Chain A
Amino acid sequence: MSPSQQPTSTNPSSLKNQFAHRFIRALKTLNHTKTGAAHDHNQMYRRSIRVKIASYTAMASVVGSRRAWSRAVLWKIIKRSRNQGLLLRKRKRRNPNPKREDFNPFRNSGQELKLRKLVPGAETMDSWCLMGETADYIKCLVAQVEVMKTLVDLYSIT
């Protein structure tokens, strides 16, 4: 394992480092495989979506399998790349903590539902785990946004 890929745990600067590293690598790959038509809006849109996916994938791969949301993101990407031509089949993940009672009978209503939709992979979690995942997700999103802002600043000097 190369020294730049050690587990980050909660260190935000190393998180940013690793994310930037992987993201830039992905952007390089995207750059090389791009088509030349720069004015076609459809193409631009598709390329920007690829950049977005690259950024989420980079962040999720930095976090690895430590967190449920990163696992969910990576799983979605893998599934999407597998199902490119096939029918998209729905696959539900079973609740990993089946021994706990379903404590909150109102979990599927109100704001918690919105939160569950926003945080990837948080549909079948209990509320306590949901809060933890949300906290980690927010932390990583903030790091991601900061890195991307810096990159945009960096590359837009003309």
Chain B
Amino acid sequence: MDPPIINESSFSAANPSSYSLTGIWPFSSANGGRIEGLGLKMGALVGRIGEPNSTRDEESTVTEYSGGGGRKRRDANFEDESSKIVSTSSDAIALNNLNGKRMKISGWKDEPGGSKTDQEMSSGSGSKAPAGQTQTHKPSEPPKDYIHVRARRGQATDRHSLAERARREKISERMKLLQDLVPGCNKVIGKALVLDEIINYIQSLQHQVEFLSMKLEAVNTRMASPTEGFPTKDLGPQPLDAAGLLFGSQTTRPFGHESQPEWLHMQLGNNFGRMT
């Protein structure tokens, strides 16, 4: 019944000290491709064990089938980070065996996972040795199909709320990325305000594109009809071809953006090679 998907060697790449869990819990996500069949089994098992715990505020982990997509890079990153905190001990294994509820199957998903798990461990059932934190790492290989979530103390541990929480955390991760993209969004807190900022930013960018396109059109029209009296000594009636000439002759032209001349040189160089 246990398909031989566990390779201890696959774990050794990530963390040599995390073998022990394979003994307890033979199902693991070491081999993402084969999990699909197991997903249901694991879900059922976990669900069965998780249900009596739904009212308890003890911690448990549940794996979730995430349906793929190639966006599991974060998991790899966080595994690298959190590989420092992993340690296993035989006590912990025995405890886990006895406990039955502690099915820590795999790595954390979110960033402050390290510090959070330390707190959780210490705030968990105090009688157990808190140092015995067991964790397996998915070796940082591409696509794992599971996202592993840890439930915090005091939160419901039934399957649906865990799924909801995992989804919310995924979305908030991406919101953080968006906050980095949008300037001035770091000071804003709260999903609604951040979304407002993002919407404003996108609208302003689109207006800028429209305005610049009008300006470009005007400039092009002016350039293309040199009878209007503008001095176009550097640009002929085909301003676009002559842009390369312009660049070649005026190297000290002041630019608003310092980083751009380089790429424009390259681009116009390509252009020239292509068109002449």
Contacts and interface: CB of A to CB of B under 8 A. Distances in A.
Contacts of A50: 217
Tell me if A's interface is mostly helix, strand, loop or mixed. Answer: helix
The B contact surface, by secondary structure, is helix
B212 A149 contact: yes
Contacts of B270: 4, 17, 21
Q: Place the interface of chain A in its size category.
A: 35 or more
Contacts of B67: 97, 99-100
B196 interface: yes
Interface string A109-134: 01110110011000000011001101
B255 A153 contact: yes
B267 A146 contact: no
B240 A24 contact: yes
Contacts of B182: 138
A158 B209 contact: no
Interface stretch (B49-57, B77-85, B119-127, B166-174): B166-174
B203 interface: yes
B175 interface: yes
Interface residues of B, number: 64
B260 A150 contact: yes
Residue with the highest number of chain A CB atoms closer than 10 Å, among B178, B203, B212, B231: B212
B98 interface: no
Given A28-B240, A144-B209, A154-B246, A118 B202 contact: yes
Nearest to B163: A103
Nearest to B224: A31
B213 interface: yes
Contacts of A119: 202
A131 B67 CA distance: 17
Nearest to B172: A131
A100 B167 CA distance: 12
A34 B181 contact: no
Contacts of B62: none
Interface in B169-199: 170-171, 174-175, 177-178, 181-182, 192, 195-196, 198-199
Given A44-B218, A128-B167, A128-B174, 10 more contacts: A21-B270, A28-B238, A38-B225, A48-B216, A49-B213, A97-B67, A149-B256, A150-B264, A152-B216, A158-B232
